Amino acid sequence: MPIYEYVCMECESHFEELVRGSEQVHCPDCAATNVSKQFSSFAVHGVTKSTAKVASGGSGGGCCGGSCGCGH
């Protein structure tokens, strides 16, 4: 059962709702059913800086980064 983010088109309230099947979603503030599903902030984010740095071959520290004195 997924949790979705919604915005109420009547009172502009933002809320999350656990949705079971084809259950009708109601705004918890005004009980309106005129709601719009929003993109989750988790789904919208892209690659983080640390991931991009590692993927581009940047030094991540540790032994392979040369900080352990192994001669690399």
Q: What tokens appear for 42 in the block?
A: 């988790």
Q: Which of 22, 21, 14, 20 is nearest to 39 (CA)?
A: 14
The CATH topology of domain 1-43 is Rubrerythrin, domain 2 (2.20.28)
Give the pLDDT of residue 6: 95
Residue 59 has pLDDT above 60, yes or no: no
Q: What tokens appear for 1 in the block?
A: 């059962």
Spans of all domains in the chain: 1-43
Give the pLDDT of residue 50: 53
With tokens 């032994």, the residue in question is 63
pLDDT tens for 4-56 read 899 999 999 999 998 888 889 999 999 999 999 987 666 555 555 554 444 54
